[in-house]
Amino acid sequence: MEAVVDEKGRLLIPQSFRESAGIIAGTVVQMKQRGRIVEVIPTSKKRNNARSWREFYGIKPKRTGKPSWPSPEEIKSIWE
């Protein structure tokens, strides 16, 4: 089976290969190279969903209810 590497270096692993190797979205893989052979080996780890920079830096605002949007008059008053 053939596949094409795109301009960003990504390679699509065919679905049948992913299923037989147990690779699903978020699976961490280890890559090894032996000469011109590249091995992709799934690990038992799964990557958690990527965290936002706010969560990364501990800035996680608490929601206290519905936001109150300014009225058109309040917006106009800013520009006067």
Condensed to tens digits (0 to 9), the pLDDT of residues 65-80 reads 777 788 888 888 888 7
Q: Is the pLDDT of residue 52 over 90?
A: no
Do the strands 37-46 and 27-34 form a parallel or antiparallel pair, or are they unpaired?
Answer: antiparallel
Domains belonging to the chain, first-starting first, are 1-48 (2.10.260)
- CB neighbours of residue 18 within 10 Å: 16
CB 60 within 8 A of CB 54: yes
pLDDT tier at 16, thresholds 50, 70, 90: very high
Query: Which DSSP letter does residue 65 get?
Result: S
Place of tokens 């936001």: 67
Query: Which DSSP letter does residue 1 get?
Result: -
